[in-house]
């Protein structure tokens, strides 16, 4: 008999209807996700399942999951969630998606199942752990790297330095990884989380929650598999989910 595959919930993006006569996927609201999120989870031994945007159902969804992946997207965490009174002109939000993802993360933290936050998912995780965000890196950091890299997302944009003696370091077995980069915001304060990776310009690139079986956020997109460390991160998630499901 085949071993049970850990069930990994994956959050979706949400898009509005296409304008009349403008083409697009649908004239009704629709969900979206890049195929490589699901493919990477499956390749590492997990069973991916998409999660819709219904905060009222979040706890019930999580009750059936062994792990949670909070994906990225071209939007930002609402500044009021981390106590900011003003929003930068570049900030774009998706309140319905954020409310659902926040409910999912809170339920996953309460249940103690593995959580992987990716890009915007890492930023939301930091905020829910009591942290804050930099609303626009170019305005806040002189000589910042191109965190919105000009080259394709399936190529590296810069390196990140992994902090020794962290869960992330033990998973990837390296002190430096090449990563892709697609974000204009960054974590400023990690709250209850701890920093486990930084870019050469000092931007926080990963955080983790001490005492949790697996709660890691990374600012890059490991689902593209830029380095061996990306796959090792997903394999670590699946291994932890397998333990959670036993």
Exactly one of 44, 119, 196, 215 is catalytic; which is it?
Answer: 119
Catalytic residue check, 184 = no
3-state secondary structure of 149: coil
Supply the DSSP symbol for 89: T
Whether residue 53 lies in the annotated active site: no
Tell which residue, 13, 11, 18, has the closest CA to residue 116: 11
Q: Judge whether 6 and 66 are in contact, CB under 8 Å.
A: yes
Under 8 Å between Cβ of 11 and 103: no
Question: Quick one: tokens of 144?
Answer: 């910042």
Q: Distances from the Cα of 157 to the Cαs of 145, 150, 172, 186, in angstroms?
A: 9, 8, 19, 16
DSSP 92-124: -B-HHHHHHHHHHHHHHHHHT--EEEETHHHHH
Could you give the residue ranges of the DSSP H alpha helices within the chain? 35-43, 58-63, 95-111, 120-128, 137-140, 167-172, 228-244
Length of the chain: 246
Is 205 a residue of the active site? no
Report CA-CA distances (Å) from 153 to 36, 58, 169, 231: 12, 30, 23, 16
Query: Tokens in use for 48?
Result: 């991916």
Q: Which residues are catalytic?
A: 119, 221, 223
């Amino acid at each position: 008999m085949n071993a049970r595959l850990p069930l990994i919930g994956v959050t979706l993006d949400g898009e509005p209807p296409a304008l009349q006569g403008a083409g697009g996927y649908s004239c009704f609201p629709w969900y979206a996700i890049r195929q490589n999120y699901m493919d990477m989870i499956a390749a590492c031994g997990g069973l991916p399942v998409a999660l819709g945007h219904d905060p009222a159902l979040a706890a019930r969804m999580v009750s059936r999951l062994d792990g949670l992946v909070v994906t990225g997207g071209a939007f930002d965490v609402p500044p009021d969630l981390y106590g900011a009174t003003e929003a930068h002109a570049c900030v774009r939000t998706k309140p319905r998606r954020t409310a659902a993802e926040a409910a999912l993360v809170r339920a996953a933290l309460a249940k103690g199942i593995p959580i992987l936050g990716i890009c915007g998912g890492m930023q939301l995780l930091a905020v829910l752990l009591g942290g804050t965000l930099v609303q626009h890196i170019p305005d806040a950091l002189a000589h910042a790297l191109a965190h919105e890299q000009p080259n394709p997302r399936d190529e590296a944009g810069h390196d990140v330095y992994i902090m020794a003696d962290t869960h992330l370091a033990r998973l990837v077995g390296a002190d430096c990884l090449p990563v892709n980069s697609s974000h204009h915001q960054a974590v400023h304060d990690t709250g209850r989380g701890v920093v486990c990776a930084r870019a050469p310009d000092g931007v926080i690139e990963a955080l983790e929650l001490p005492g949790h079986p697996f709660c890691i956020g990374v600012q890059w997109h490991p689902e593209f598999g830029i380095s061996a460390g990306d796959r090792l991160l997903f394999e670590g998630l699946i291994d932890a989910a397998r333990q959670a499901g036993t």
